[in-house]
Structure 1
Amino acid sequence: MKHYSVLLNESIEALDIKPEGIYVDGTLGRAGHSTKILEKLTTGTLIAFDKDTDALEESKKLLGVKPILIHDSFATIGEHLDELGIDKVDGFLFDLGVSSPQFDDADRGFSYRFDAKLDMRMDQTQTLSAYEVVNEYNEDKLVDILKTYADERYAKGIVKAILKHRPIETTFELVSCVKEAYPSSQLKKGHPAKKTFQAIRMEVNNELKDIENALQDAIKYTKVGGRIAVITFHSIEDRLVKQRFNEVATPPKVNPRIPQIEVSQPKFKWISKQIKPSLKELDENNRSHSAILRVIERTEYDG
């Protein structure tokens, strides 16, 4: 299955790749970005992470032995860099969300378009799946997940429908619960199950916490002149990335009329606050319509 790497040229350009540099692709996927990074390296090193064993196997065929491929969450980047004896990195790239092959493989249970067993695991070796979340979580926890991870306004009604029809075995059964809770006037405004599937997927894969940990590691290990580039696909994860980048790259506001004590200056600067897909890319890949690329660069070390 073909995977279209979103904002491919823009993200590679934003990394400002040095031929001898060390780069981390936190979301290997089908190696679209990694392939482009490798093309620009001579003596440099690429380290790529993915939780999905299918993605790793496919990428190995494409990339061969050149990069260091690691089957693990990008939340563990710091641990692996320490094991490799690497304390400074020239660039980090994160392409968040689910890849097209994951969405389009009905058996993975990521999509509301196919009838399949509830799964949604990016790491197929983990125990927790969408089935456990939907059928074993209590009412309050399910409502909280739908609200926190998807801003789902009909969360309570959806959860009541889920509780009424448990056990929910398949994606289409879950879709039916969502439709049961949605007002008929809202059913024509895009697929009603989109937010529910997003929220459950994010819970299954611990996505927000993993992003927080990955950004923390990236900020710690980026060398002066090095960059961090992140592509987001929905407002929940984008809000987190923007907030974290602002914390390290935006100068504190000062009132010129009030005497100031010495204020700590940011150790990063913004390179690109918001890059969106071109009209050409939008025409070629409608899944890129919500993508946003944000990039920061380290200007000095902490302390």
Structure 2
Amino acid sequence: MTEPAEFRHTTVLLDEAVDGVLARPDGVYVDGTFGRGGHSRALLARLAPEGRLIGIDRDPEAIAAAAAITDPRFSIVHAGFADMVEELADIGVHQVDGVLLDLGVSSPQIDNPERGFSFRFVGPLDMRMDTTRGQSAADFLARADEREIARVIKDYGEERFAGQIAKAVVARREAGTPLTRTDELRELVARTVKTREPGQDPATRTFQALRIHVNGELEQLDQGLKSALRLLAPGGRLSIISFHSLEDRRVKQFIAAHSKAEFDRRAPFAPPPELALVALGRVKPSETEVRANPRSRSAVLRVAERTDAPLASAKGG
């Protein structure tokens, strides 16, 4: 079935991300966030006949969309990319030449009111990327105490009014009218948050925070980065697109932690330790792309390469 036009996705940093990850055309690659397959299709177009691509996604709608790709070099797995080591082992893949991750939420998820990701649409307060499991945002707000709600909104939304919002959520719940819909949460936040940056809806940070928490996005990212490093063959590449500072900071710190050799003062004459990664670059969308797709404006692409070379011969060392 063809997806409604309003739910279609414009892939961000398409060529840049594929250029970054494609170490060798005849290799094995993972698109850990298949979405609607923009990056996967571009990768397949550039893979050699003996190449292979495995798509991974948590969203059942993304898995259904992947059925439209009939290329025998492609296969799809319903899972989170944090579990890619185990999932790929189940299909006989233990090493890959590249892992591409396009983090965050996709346009079809945002634009479908039934998914509950956006305050711009009226719908159930769900926000789960995998609708077959886990608690929804409404479930969380119905059960968590005020301190936990405030922590989530503050830590994941960087919201300075987190305490007041949490207090209002709990007060409404105790009055017998728990939040169940996106418009209810948006209105509650609007009444609670008195000031906001020009052009930003007061509910933006709260919706982001709840989505990140419900989906365990930062935990998924931390585990996914470790899994990707375990899978990468020497010379293999990581190509990761982030959309907010909480994600990008983790990616940047992970690459830095695995691309710097720590000097051991206790053994000054020991041979230099081997590096796991070499950072290859950071890319932002062009002005042309941002004009064509405003949602790309906050995107950051980071690329790194797996290496087992000692510090003295490692690229960029």
TM bucket, shorter chain: over 0.9
Q: How many angstroms apart in 2 are the aligned matches of 1:148 and 1:186?
A: 18
Q: How many angstroms apart in 2 are the aligned matches of 1:213 and 1:259?
A: 31
Note if 1:125 corresponds to 2:139: no
Alpha-carbon shift at residue 65 of structure 1 (Å) = 4.7
Task: Give CA deviations for 1:41-69 in whole Å, capped at 9, x if unaligned.
Answer: 22111011011111111121144554110
Aligned residues: 298
Gaps of 5+ in 1: none
Q: How many angstroms apart in 2 are the aligned matches of 1:54 and 1:81?
A: 21
CA 1:191–1:217 in structure 2 vs 1: closer, same or farther (change >3 Å)? Answer: same
Report the secondary structure of 2:97's partner residue: strand
1:151 to 158, 168, 174: 158
Note if 1:266 corresponds to 2:275: yes
Task: Give CA deviations for 1:143-186 in whole Å, capped at 9, x if unaligned.
Answer: 11112212111100110111111201111111112112212x42
The residue type equivalent to 2:290 in the other structure is L
What is the aligned partner in structure 2 of residue 171 from structure 1?
A: 182
TM-score by length of 1: 0.93
1:15 to 2, 21, 26: 21
Q: How many angstroms apart in 2 are the aligned matches of 1:192 and 1:261?
A: 57
Residue pairs, 1:4-153, within 5 angstroms: 4-41=10-47, 42-63=49-70, 65-153=72-160
What is the aligned partner in structure 1 of residue 222 from structure 2?
A: 212
What is the aligned partner in structure 1 of residue 256 from structure 2?
A: 246
Superposed structure 1 runs of 4+ greater than 6 Å apart: none
CA 1:286–1:38 in structure 2 vs 1: closer, same or farther (change >3 Å)? Answer: same
What is the aligned partner in structure 2 of residue 291 from structure 1?
A: 299
Q: How many angstroms apart in 1 are the aligned matches of 2:197 and 2:304?
A: 40
The residue type equivalent to 2:236 in the other structure is G
Calculate percent identity across the aligned residue pairs. 39
Task: Give CA deviations for 1:28-86 in whole Å, capped at 9, x if unaligned.
Answer: 00000000111112211101101111111112114455411001111110001222222
Report the secondary structure of 2:133's partner residue: coil
The residue type equivalent to 1:2 in the other structure is R
1:282 to 257, 278, 290: 290
CA contact (8 A) 2:117 2:207 kept: yes
Alpha-carbon shift at residue 275 of structure 1 (Å) = 0.5
The residue type equivalent to 2:308 in the other structure is E
TM-score by length of 2: 0.89
The residue type equivalent to 1:171 in the other structure is T
CA 1:254–1:280 in structure 2 vs 1: closer, same or farther (change >3 Å)? Answer: farther
